[in-house]
Structure 1
């Protein structure tokens, strides 16, 4: 069909966001999430235990600091204790990063009309990231509930409560229903702003750097540049949105019950003040900044490799058709 003739017919442009879906972003995101999780899971476990420690729940262990928590867990629970909850964390982190990157790049490319060299600007980047975060959270929240519960099994008595990821999913659904699997969903929705701020900052830093070098914005960067931009974007996002993570972890904790998100916020403020909303921040930053750097570095390299491979295959197919 003659493309010029097709355009002249004035047929309406179809809304087809799925035309921009590329599995390469999913695979690269999963790869980054899994690698960073396997390396840094112990810090995530410690962060969760700090976050839910309200000073009033006897079943939650007390730690004096990051190094104290690490040595205490290792001494009392062994090496396996440092990796409690690692299975749902690998599933959750891998699937979350994979879905997030896929949704984000699909939405972004759709907005760009397929032209990946066109900058979107901060507002549209943040919008694409927020939409991606909502879709990802809807699919992965139950996994994060299970991860939190498994990370908080701190002693021999509680360790029999959940025998693993599948058992925990079944038990939570049996005892608490769908609502149990979606505990922390409301603050999780607020946490979409975290990903939106992070991705917007990361994309704008990359774009500005490539524009400064007078190169297309999708030009591949050096390892140190990816690491630096990932670290800066994560620090900015974490500083702005950390309190929601504390509220979310406490709502998902089965040792203490709150009557919803607002009740959790009120009790935390009443008994602990503003410091309560930043418990575990040091452990969190110690984990999430290097985790983000590893995740983005793996993602960028894997995605560029896979997309270049796709392009080579498509070029060969076009040449053979000719």
Structure 2
């Protein structure tokens, strides 16, 4: 009896933990491809005309800092992105099981709601991680902070816990619809690309669906991402923006509506390969864990 109970607990832990483990693997793989694109995006969004087009921003960054400048702020995300993806995919997978009881094909609305809920949960730690990343990426030709942990330490020392969560509200508002669209569009395209009679999409279908899912997600959330990045790049001691709404008003007043789409091309350019790799590694890792432990395959 005790052994059966122990085996049941172990099986449950593996079942609920498999999405977290697969998300960790997928997140780390995707980040490897995307950080230089993310650096260009952040600099375009926060520095305006000083940075210019994608090519001008890339050229200026390389002239001042060399290739290593494009990887500024990567150490912290490399450690944390696996953690964030683990939270997202773990919460998403388990929320979906809860909504649909794990006994039927989930609807797209269930997939969207589970993705939006998971996006909101992971947005809480993501806001602090992205704050540090944005601060480090904004240092062109200067090094105010020695590294990510020095940056976080100084923010906490000077501005307390509230300063460490600068940009939390727009991060949540960005990630709820963004991740809902992300996961629902991925699943819809996988279903469309999977021939009738086949239960699982091919790797090629997952690559294409993951890439396009990432692009669609950024098209939805780029305006609020602009607000988030500007709030986080702002001087915390003497802030230019009083709130998210004040940032929206000032940005529109000074730059017009086009400012809210700044950085979209480079975001999409980054999103396709990053999310292609992320979804394939996540799906293959999850399928392997489920096969190994005799679970019903969900991807």
TM-score bin, normalised by smaller chain: 0.7 to 0.9
Q: Do residues 80 (structure 1) and 65 (structure 2) align?
A: no
Determine whether 1:307 maps to 2:287. no
SS at match of 1:220: coil
Any conservation in 1 of the 2:234–2:241 contact (CA below 8 Å)? no
Q: 1:260 aligns with which of 243, 262, 266?
A: 243
Q: Among 12, 26, 48, which residue is 2:20 paired with?
A: 26
Mapping 1:165-204, distance limit 5 Å: 165-191=148-174, 192-204=176-188
Contact 2:19 2:86 in 1 (8 A): yes
Residues in 2 aligned to 1:280 and 1:123: alpha-carbon distance in whole angstroms: 29
Q: Tell whether the 8 Å contact from 1:194 to 1:238 is kept in structure 2 after alignment.
A: yes
Equivalence map 1:108-187=2 (5 Å): 108-115=96-103, 118-156=104-142, 159=143, 161-187=144-170
Match of 1:288 in 2: 271
Per-residue deviation at 1:119? 2.3
Partner of 1:95: 83
Distance in 1 (CA, whole Å) between partners of 2:76 and 2:22 is 19
Corresponding residue for 1:239? 219
Unaligned runs of 5+ in 1: 2-17, 56-61, 313-322
After TM superposition, the score normalised by the length of structure 1 is 0.81
CA deviation after TM superposition for structure 1 residue 123, in Å? 1.9
Q: In 2, Cα distance between the equivalents of 1:90 and 1:233?
A: 22
Please give the secondary structure, in 2, of the residue aligned with 1:258.
coil
CA drift at 1:79: 2.4
Q: Distance in 2 between matches of 1:141 and 1:220?
A: 34
1:88–1:165 Cα contact (<8 Å) kept: yes
1:55-70 to 2 correspondence within 5 Å?
A: 55=49, 62-70=50-58
- Matching of residue 49 in structure 1 with residue 43 in structure 2: yes
- Counterpart Cα distance in 2 of 1:64 and 1:237: 24
Change (3 A) 1:285 1:38: same
Give the Å deviation of 1:78: 1.9
The partner residue of 1:251 within 231, 234, 237 is 231
| CA–CA separation in structure 1 for the residues paired with 2:192 and 2:134 | 38
Moved more, 93-102 or 200-209: 200-209
User: Which runs of 5 or more structure 2 residues have no equivalent in the other structure?
Assistant: 2-11
Q: 1:50 to 1:294 in 2, by over 3 A?
A: same
Matches of 1:49 and 1:251, distance apart in 2: 13
Alpha-carbon distance in 2 for matches of 1:167, 1:180: 14
Shift of residue 284, structure 1, vs aligned partner:
0.9
Moved more, 94-103 or 135-144: 135-144
Moved over 6 A (4+): none
SS for the counterpart of 1:213 is coil
Q: Secondary structure of the residue that 2:47 maps to in structure 1?
A: coil
Aligned in 2, Cα 1:73/1:284: closer, same or farther, shift over 3 Å? same
| Mean CA deviation greater in 290-299 or 22-31 | 22-31
Q: Which deviations, in whole Å up to 9, do the C-alpha atoms of 1:256-309 show, x marking residues without a partner?
A: 631000000001110111111011111111111211111111111111112211
- Provide the residue aligned with 1:6 in structure 2: none
